[in-house]
Chain A
Amino acid sequence: MRKIYKIAAALGILLFATTGCKKYLDINSNPAIPQVVKAELLLPPIEYQMCNGTEQDYTRSLSKLTQNLGGIDALNASTTIWEQHGYPAASDVGGVVWRMVYFDLGINLENMIKDAVANQKYEYAGMGYAIKAWAYQIATDEYGPLNVTDAFTPGQLTFTYQDQPVVYDKIREWGNLAIQYLNMTSPVNYSAQLQGPTGDGIYKGDKAKWKKFVYAVFALQYGHLINKAAFTSSSYADSIAKYTDLSFANETEDATIGFNAASVADANPLGPLNAGSANSGLLNSSTGYGRPTTTILGLLTGGVRGTPTPSPTTSLDPRLSRFLVSGTTNATTSGIYSAIQPCHGSNTTNIPTVLGFLPAGATYYNGKYIFTDKARYPLMTYSELQFVKAEALFIKGDKTNAYTAYINGIKATVDFFNQYGRTAAISDPTIATTELNAYLASTEVAQSAATLTISDIMQQKYIALWGWGGTETWCDLRKYHYSASVYRTYYQLTTSDFASTNGGKYAYRNRPRYNSEYVWNAGELAKWGGLATNYNTLEMWFSQP
């Protein structure tokens, strides 16, 4: 009998122990980090990543494909390969936007939207969908097919892709959702939060401007479809005109991301502070990146309509001295603006970087134009949209309005510089109206609607986007199939210039991120021909008729 008591007591203790133990064991969450994060605190890193993701791919891949920038390290195959329109094997370079869309924004953005919708934080929901539309637009224009159906499904390990028509539709769907939420008013006022240091680094929560952001995405999207028969027949061109008018009214409304420049991670990655860091930074290899090319130098020195001046020291285009750095090292290079020829940079040339000069006794480069620590990072601008509008109306045949937009665009690039391009330690002077007018009156600018050509529009757009708008410039180049008549200074690669795997063709897409898709989702990639070594030369849907 006593034994039974003992057993009962033991069982009782055991039972108590198991329930008590669960409580004792319940420490499996990280005390250093919150487990649930509100939409408000998800927004700042999302906005930072919008810059970080696009900047990294721009610096290392797109700036070279577009010949915005190049390297002087011709011996380094991993950096010059992009100038040759190839890609380094087994590398994640050129795959950062993929990471941005699916991981850096990814579920963070989904959770931000989820919290915002569930808790009636409509401005956050609107911003969330606007950012989502923008991000997928950037991504599809770089990679083509994307997954827009079942991404982020817990437990799922392989994913299918949908082609661009589906993706483009989805982007407009998200854009419209954004407009819908931005038109709603939240019961709680979040403006203090949005304007604070952990708020909205783009528009400080200004819903009207966020709507313009969405319309800008729409305008850009339609602008990519100029080769489609529907462009003129189904009035894509009119849509562009409408959306550009609904969008930014001037350069003060540009979509740009701000920084405090207090630390490396809080500074524009295109600036001097980031130039030496391992994973970001324009100059992460001091010789492989960040040198202006003959393409941009030519456009700024008489090449838009005429012949570029050799060894220029000055130009009628006021943007030359504001964008680029002239040589300072010695008598032979002093004052001369020089640039590399893509694929032909060499170790011996001494082309200054876009970061400007090193002030005497300083640790960091001075910075220049938008290549400074404090410069706002542009995502989409008024001038960009004016050129999109000009192009659309030009194709449609409305030359007069096209010309107006074209001139607006050029003027706006000057406004852009004056507004955003003067944050260097020792900054360049503003571009005076007289300088602008002199340029507008020059032979580099079409003087009438009748003499306006598509080349004028696209090359001026190239200049406007130089230094940041890699994806859009690349879309333009691809739309016109790298045409030498449209892009007069674009260095046309010779057969031997092309990367060996290209088969003599220009690049038309970047391969999805290597360590994401090639390693772990190769089955799906194979369906799209993605495993072929020349997949990067396959033309995308958007630029095809």
Chain B
Amino acid sequence: MKKALLLFFLAVFCCVAHVMAQTLIAGKVTSSDDGEPLPGVTVKIKDTKTSTVTDVSGVYSIRASKGQVLQFSYIGYLAQSITVTGVTPVNVKLKTDSRSLNEVVVTAYNVARDKRSLGYSTPTVNGDEVSQTQREDFFGGLQGRVAGLSINSTNGNPGASAQIILRGATSLSGDNNALIVVDGVPINNTTLNQTSQLVTGAANRDQDYSNRAMDINPADIETYTIMKGPEATALYGSAGAGGAILITTKKGKAGATSVNYSTSFRIEKVNKFPEIQQVYNSGSTGGVYSGAVSTYFGPTYLPGTTIYDNMHNFFQTGFSQNHNMSIEGGTDKFTYRWSNEYVDTKGTVPTTTYTRFSSRLTGSAVVSPSLKITTSFNYINSTNNKANKGANGILMELVRFPSNYDVRNYQDAAGNRILHYSTIYSEYDNPLWDVNKDPAQDKNDRFLGNVNVAFTPTKWLAVNGIVGTDVTSTVGTQVYNGQSYKGSGSSTAPTLGSITNYQELTKIFNGSLTATAKANLGIFNGTFIVGGTFHDFNATTNSQYGTHFYDPNFYSIYNTLPTTRNAGIDINRYRNVGAFAQAVFGYKTLLYLTLTGRVDGSSRLMPSINAATGTVADAHPYFSYPSASLAFNFTDLNAVKEALPFLDYGKLRMSYAITGKEPYTEYALGTNYVGANSTGGGYALSVTAGNPDLRPEKSKNFETGIELQFLKNRLGLDFNYYNLNSDGQIIQPRLSYISGFVLELMNGGVVRNRGFEVSLTGTPVQSKDFTWTARANFAHNRGIVLSIANQLPELYNSDTWVIGNIRSGVAPGASIYAVTGTRFDKNNAGQILISPSSGLPTTSDTNFYPIGDRQPLFNLGLTNTFTYKSLSLSFLWDLRYGGDVINGTEYEEYTRGISVKTLDRETPRIITGVLNDGFQNTDHPTANNIAIIPYSNAAYYSTNVSPEMFVERNIKALRLRDVTLSYNFPQSMLNRTGFVKNLGVFFTVTDAILITNYSGTDPESNATNASSGGVGGYGLDYGNVGKPIGFNLGLRVKL
């Protein structure tokens, strides 16, 4: 008892003595960048367990003795140590650590990984860099900023869909789009597929529907992390087989509440038009005038004829406005951010608009030291008024429109269509009639919600649970007026207009649970992650179709003839489950080995009753695959450090991964019936045969690269090489109908993608007032189809067969981006055969051969930012080099005599070739000697056409995608206001310059829309309007 008492007293005494020696140190921690207080900074007394954190105002207080060292640390800032001298307050300015931001990379399911441990490249892009381009869609702003990321938009209209492809297409028929993940939750990025979802079942080419990633407000995005290889996405499994774009949204920052507001206004102008000849009048052939055709092989326009500049008269100046307001703030325990966006875009094509309202609330609460919950809710409402595209879209209508009439006169006083050469049934629409009378609209309401629970029971274990939901409702209408070309039908059976209504409700519900354990064993360290995921996708589309409007100008399904009404329902549902385990073994920070294994379960691989055979196959829904990667941070070796002092950082990496990709469509293992709407109803089998043996596509990827930082991190290089083999391609070839079916989904074919990527980052100039940073991204990819299922000579996408005999098709040995087409008949020596009777070439061989490759040789993106004091100028150059583009617009212009290439029609010429006179395959074929004057023989333009003539080879396009000049008003000036913390103005020009050897308007074009499988209509330019130049002027203010 005595002993105890003594101890007690000793303890109390010592303690008091200890306390007596300490003083209360207080101070404020601010950021050296903007002087803002930094809440949540850890202040720790070195070598003790005593620590505190700064409060909302950046203020802290701690008891410490003289001589002790205070350590200030905060994520994203360089740590500082200050020895206690007894002087108080101790105010600290923390400097941002440009490197430390990159030290931690958020990988799949919000698993944070030390960047040094990653065996693959993970480029990140700052969200503001993208949003400052003022584009409505984030992906448009990402183009050119990441090596290997290719964004191919359908056209330049507001709300246009885009393919988002990383590295290159790997699937011949499946979806090649990258997975879009927002805060750990894969979101809906589908594009409405007319063929399968709508009752009309039309091909995916005459209308466009936005891909749903369009809905996300770019200003809400903090960072983009791009995961390209399958190794990177091994954690997302099948869905991530095409790579993934991980989006981290902005979260509230603790501290005083701040209000941010930014706005910008944009005007847009179409600055590139297709060229048309305005010399020759309409006529079928021989220079004979005909007022009843839309071909222009007639005589020259009579002198004095007024020729209208319809191209310029049609397009309008686009105007948009964009408002973004966010409020954020909070304490160290609780933060919130509420952001709102309103975008209103009026396109350059009359009547086209895109309007979006987005409201997003993110809150984060530290429930207990070990539990943090972050939730976000995002409501988005958007409306897109669209114009028709393709064969009867606005550009082709404009091109075909007679130049001697004014396009602006599209209707008479009674509201009837003004006709110039034929009847409503056979005269193509005036584009202004089309946009005004054939409305097409999509309205979306979308709700995105997600909850992220981070549980850290012990230092070494972190459990992270994410649940997300994404509900999108799209209500759309597509109308053809009864007097429109497409809505009139024929004179014998008039359609009197048609309307398609559709309501799509897509619900995604998904979640993941991961546990990350970290262990250190001396010089060895390990990170072990296990996790499970589920994903539920359910989309129901109801659609209704009706024709024969009673009132020609009232567009409603009620206004149609009841017997013409038809309805359809498409239910697209699938589920996935996944379990994965990952182990990262590290030796110091020098060497890391990551092993990952994943098992996927796919509902699409569950058997369905085979309606054809009545049998049910065995269930094999699971497939698994491993990956391994190695990261070697060789600059951590002393020998390297000494030998290469200029090298700040170096990493060698290598990875090998296998990924499975589930079938791209559901219900495919069994044959399905479809409802018959013919007399008596009933059911008949679908055109597609079920295939119970369907297996996932398998990709095997080998990747290696090096990452280097030189000259005090002023220069960085990242090089990456990969070889990706995608085996067991899921394709849907036609069959001999004797099989009982027209099509079948089957495995067969190998595609190899090989390429390399180089990223260079540098800061050529860095001084007190002036900084110049630059980044270059280079990517080269070759995708080759090594084989397709045995019997198939060619596999094509029928949606892309928009004009002539050209289509997106693949053949063994050709590029996956090949186009196939028919060819002129040739002799054994490859000379073009000329018909001795007409003097024109012939095309009797109806086979399709690979005639072009749309894959660019390389893409180069160059970003430069110059900062002088508060003035900053940044711009992005984007170079696409090589690859073919198919000029379908020119094809139609040429065959109709509208092309400027037909202006020399009065010049006699002899087509180079040999006569098909029986001597063509001898040693002495007869050279063609038949002269033709196309003016008197229009067949020259209609018969003497071969798809190859419109494949424009080796297209180079250098674009100034965007350039932004911004100015921030000096702090000293703002301080006088007392409440404005930040004020800036900016001027941005988008799609400013396009220098190209492509003769059409824009090589970035797609003849289908993003819902088309495989590579779709990429690089097939048919009736697409290029991107207009946009001038944005805006301001941002922070209160």
Interface residues of A (CB under 8 A from B): 14, 17-18, 21-22, 24-37, 41-49, 52, 89-90, 98-99, 102-104, 106-108, 110-111, 114, 147, 151-159, 197-199, 201, 257-260, 262-266, 272-277, 281, 283, 286, 353, 355, 363-365, 513, 515-517, 519-521
Contacts and interface: CB of A to CB of B under 8 A. Distances in A.
Contact of A34 (B548, B575, B673): B673
Contact of A151 (B689, B738, B846): B738
Given A45-B683, A47-B680, A107-B740, A25 B493 contact: no
Given A28-B603, A272-B493, A276-B493, A520 B735 contact: yes
Contacts of B242: none
Given A159-B738, A520-B791, A45 B678 contact: yes
A147 B740 CA distance: 12
Given A44-B678, A152-B739, A157-B739, A25 B621 contact: yes
A272 to B, nearest CB: 6
A36 B739 contact: no
A154 B741 CA distance: 10
B271 interface: no
A123 to B, nearest CB: 16
B739 A27 contact: no
A198 B683 contact: no
Contact of B672 (A33, A42, A52, A520): A33
B674 A111 contact: no
Nearest to B599: A18
Contact of A25 (B571, B575, B673): B575
Contacts of A17: 532, 577, 579
Nearest to B744: A157
A286 B426 CA distance: 11
B789 to A, nearest CB: 8
Nearest to A157: B791
B736 interface: yes
B603 A33 contact: no
A28 B619 CA distance: 11
B740 A21 contact: no
A438 to B, nearest CB: 35
A28 B669 contact: yes
B677 interface: yes
Nearest to A43: B682
Contacts of A157: 735-736, 739, 791
A240 B621 CA distance: 58
Contacts, number: 237
Contacts of A276: 489-490, 492-495
B606 interface: yes
B609 interface: yes
The 3 closest A-B pairs by CB, nearest first: A276-B493, A44-B680, A90-B846
Interface stretch (B23-31, B610-618, B915-923, B1007-1015): B610-618
Nearest to B619: A22
B676 A44 contact: yes
A22 B736 contact: no
B681 interface: yes
Contacts of A108: 684-685
A340 B860 CA distance: 64
Given A265-B679, A276-B493, A33 B673 contact: yes
Contacts of A110: 740
B421 to A, nearest CB: 15
Contacts of A363: 494, 496, 548
Contacts of A353: 492
Contact of A275 (B492, B569, B676, B846): B492
Interface in B713-758: 733-742
Contacts of A41: 681-683
A36 B738 contact: no
Q: Which of B614, B674, B735, B742 has the most CB of A within 10 A?
A: B735
Nearest to A47: B680
11 contacts: A18-B622, A24-B603, A28-B603, A33-B672, A41-B682, A99-B737, A103-B740, A110-B740, A266-B679, A275-B492, A516-B737
Contacts of B89: none
Nearest to B735: A520
Contact of B670 (A29, A107, A155, A272): A29
A158 B683 CA distance: 27
A520 B736 contact: yes
B791 A33 contact: no
A483 B846 CA distance: 34
B737 A102 contact: yes
Tell me if B's interface is mostly helix, strand, loop or mixed.
Answer: loop
A178 to B, nearest CB: 20
A259 B679 contact: yes
B972 interface: no
Given A28-B667, A106-B740, A201-B679, 10 more contacts: A25-B577, A27-B575, A35-B611, A45-B681, A103-B740, A152-B612, A257-B679, A265-B677, A266-B677, A521-B738
B602 A25 contact: yes
B666 interface: yes
Nearest to A283: B492
A158 B506 CA distance: 40
Contacts of B272: none
B409 to A, nearest CB: 28
A516 B738 contact: yes
B741 A45 contact: no
A151 B693 CA distance: 20
Contact of A27 (B493, B574, B734): B574
Contacts of B681: 41, 44-45, 197-198
Nearest to A91: B846
Given A42-B683, A45-B682, A14 B573 contact: no
B687 interface: yes
B844 interface: yes
A14 B581 CA distance: 13
Given A37-B611, A108-B685, A364 B619 contact: no
Q: Which of A27, A42, A277, A513 has the most CB of B within 10 A?
A: A27
Contacts of B602: 25
B603 A27 contact: yes
Given A33-B673, A276-B494, A281-B493, A45 B575 contact: no
Contacts of B676: 44-45, 48
A292 to B, nearest CB: 16
A281 B577 CA distance: 49
B563 interface: yes
Contacts of A274: 493
Interface in B895-914: none
A69 B558 CA distance: 39
B246 to A, nearest CB: 25
Contacts of A260: 679
A37 B673 contact: yes
B852 interface: no
Nearest to A355: B492
B675 interface: yes
A274 B738 CA distance: 28
B491 interface: yes
Nearest to B490: A276
A84 B569 CA distance: 45
A259 to B, nearest CB: 5
A111 B612 contact: yes
Nearest to A152: B740
A25 B603 contact: yes
B102 interface: no
Interface in B478-507: 489-496
Q: Which of B494, B604, B742, B844 has the most CB of A within 10 A?
A: B742
Contacts of B496: 363
Contacts of B741: 103, 106-107
Contacts of A272: 492-493
Nearest to A37: B683
Contacts of A107: 612, 671, 685, 740-741
A243 B206 CA distance: 54
